[in-house]
Amino acid sequence: MSTMLATRRLGANGPEVSALGLGCMGMSDFYGPAAGAESLATIQAALDAGITLFDTGDFYGMGHNELLLREALRGGRRGRVFLQVKFGAQRDRTGAFLGFDARPSAVKTALAYTLRRLDTDYVDLYQPARLDPAVPIEDTVGAIADCVRAGYVRHVGLSEMGAVTIRRAHAVHPITAVQIEYSLMSRSLETAILPTVRALGIGVTAYGVLSRGLLSDPRRRPPAGPDFRAHFPRFQGENLRRNQMLVEALQGIAAEKGVTPAQLAIAWVLSRGVDVLPLIGARTRTPSARSTSRSGRTIRTGSRGPCQPSRSPAPATAQRKW
Ligand SMILES: NC(=O)c1ccc[n+]([C@@H]2O[C@H](COP(=O)([O-])OP(=O)(O)OC[C@H]3O[C@@H](n4cnc5c(N)ncnc54)[C@H](OP(=O)(O)O)[C@@H]3O)[C@@H](O)[C@H]2O)c1
């Protein structure tokens, strides 16, 4: 059963995809143990809700996330979705990050492995997860462009890159979308990156729309155990306490509108422009269903107003990784 979720065009010349995307990272990595069967059920529920945009990375669970998507998209579902894949992060057996490799040979090798794991002939959008400081972006994007010409990749994307790098990359091959953190808490892209991508007709796939779960719960405890978020300053000590005050304010506004803070936070990102597509990370069906049920359809948000309370402290965010 499929319902009518709104669609948006990804970049000026990209395809129409669901206005919300499902971020699959947490199903394999960073946010605690993988959820197994519930992950498959969550992807199926997202498909049923009309989600067609799915985000993954070859380093999410070191291949686990791609294998999960392969399993979830069996039986003819692959052709119904837009799969975007990040690559380049190097990890060891323990999962520790070793660096980044976006040399042309590494691009083509990583893509070959990804296609095998996903059991598909092409990825819809392929993007370096970060800039490799040792490799000119022209070389990395040039290698992906080779893969486009070979039919293995349909669109080229970038993740977490600055305005100058985006322009240089776009000069080599049209960039369809840039992936970057964007939320009520994280708005630094608005200064230079957003004007740049808009001038070039590049879309934005926004991650961290719920500030990694911070925006959904004013009583959120500091992450513990294997949860990678424990390392983020936004979840620590005084930062967390100040951020919780902001989320309490958001909760009050959400209650007035009859929605949850998470739904309001998603609607706010959707309201930034039709070229901005939120990716919402969910490991289980419940948050995923809540994200698609009302966000961005009937909730009115303003660019000013109580979403940005003037007397509240500034959000304590800083430091992002994957
Ligand atoms: N390019 C990059 O550098 C980069 C970095 C990070 C992430 N990403 C991509 O972006 C995706 C999303 O990012 P993210 O997962 O880090 O952050 P996020 O979407 O801001 O937050 C995810 C958290 O919010 C919770 N949540 C989701 N929907 C909710 C709802 N309706 N109500 C209450 N809570 C809800 C999830 O809960 P549960 O855990 O219980 O499901 C999870 O803890 C990732 O999956 C990944 O694909 C890209």
| Nearest partner of 297 among 66, 34, 20, 79, judged by Cα | 20
The alpha carbon of 287 and the centre of ligand 1 are apart by a number of angstroms equal to 10
In total, the chain counts a number of residues equal to 322
How confident is the prediction for the chain on average, in pLDDT? Answer: 90
Q: Tens of pLDDT along 21-49?
A: 999 999 999 998 877 899 999 999 999 99
pLDDT in the model for residue 3: 53
pLDDT at 15 over 50: yes
pLDDT at 272 over 50: yes
Structure tokens at 243: 């951020």
Contact 264, 253 (CB under 8 A): yes
User: What angle, 0 to 180 degrees and rounded to 10, lies between the N-to-C axes of helices 163-172 and 137-149?
Assistant: 40
The alpha carbon of 147 and the centre of ligand 1 are apart by a number of angstroms equal to 29
Hey, what amino acid is at 33? P
The CATH homologous superfamily to which domain 7-214+261-303 belongs is NADP-dependent oxidoreductase domain (3.20.20.100)
- Mean pLDDT for 178-189 is 98
Q: Whose CA is nearest to atom 37 of ligand 1?
A: 282
pLDDT in the model for residue 2: 47
The alpha carbon of 237 and the centre of ligand 1 are apart by a number of angstroms equal to 21
Q: Which of 15-19, 87-91, 226-230, 279-283 has the lowest mean pLDDT?
A: 226-230
pLDDT in the model for residue 307: 36
pLDDT at 320 over 50: no
Confidence of residue 151 (pLDDT cuts 50, 70, 90): very high
Buried b (16+ CB within 10 A) or exposed e, 213-225: bbbbebebeebee
The alpha carbon of 105 and the centre of ligand 1 are apart by a number of angstroms equal to 31
The alpha carbon of 9 and the centre of ligand 1 are apart by a number of angstroms equal to 22
Instruction: Express as a percent the part of the chain with pLDDT over 70.
Output: 90
Highest mean pLDDT among 27-31, 50-54, 219-223: 50-54
Q: Considering the candidates 60, 152, 182, 207, report the single residue annotated as catalytic.
A: 60
Among the atoms of ligand 1, which is closest to the Cα of residue 282? 41
pLDDT in the model for residue 308: 39
The alpha carbon of 282 and the centre of ligand 1 are apart by a number of angstroms equal to 6
Given ligand 1 and candidates 279, 297, 319, 320, which is best to mutate, with the most ligand atoms within 8 Å of its CB? Answer: 279
pLDDT at 9 over 80: yes
Among the atoms of ligand 1, which is closest to the Cα of residue 179? 1
Buried b (16+ CB within 10 A) or exposed e, 35-73: beeebbebbebbbebbbbbbbbbbbbbbbbbbebbeebb
Confidence of residue 167 (pLDDT cuts 50, 70, 90): very high
- Report residues whose beta carbon is within 6 angstroms of any ligand 1 atom: 23-26, 31, 55, 86, 129, 159-160, 179, 207-213, 216, 260, 262, 279-284, 287, 290-291, 322
pLDDT in the model for residue 301: 55
Judging by beta carbons within 10 Å of its beta carbon (0-12, 13-18, 19+), is residue 258 exposed, middle or buried?
Answer: exposed
Confidence of residue 292 (pLDDT cuts 50, 70, 90): confident
Given ligand 1 and candidates 22, 82, 207, 292, which is best to mutate, with the most ligand atoms within 8 Å of its CB? Answer: 207
Among the atoms of ligand 1, which is closest to the Cα of residue 283? 41
pLDDT at 156 over 90: yes
pLDDT in the model for residue 315: 55
pTM given for the model: 0.93
Q: Whose CA is nearest to atom 6 of ligand 1?
A: 322
pLDDT in the model for residue 11: 96
Examine the residue annotation and report whether 122 is marked as an active-site residue of this protein: no
pLDDT in the model for residue 223: 82
Confidence of residue 219 (pLDDT cuts 50, 70, 90): confident
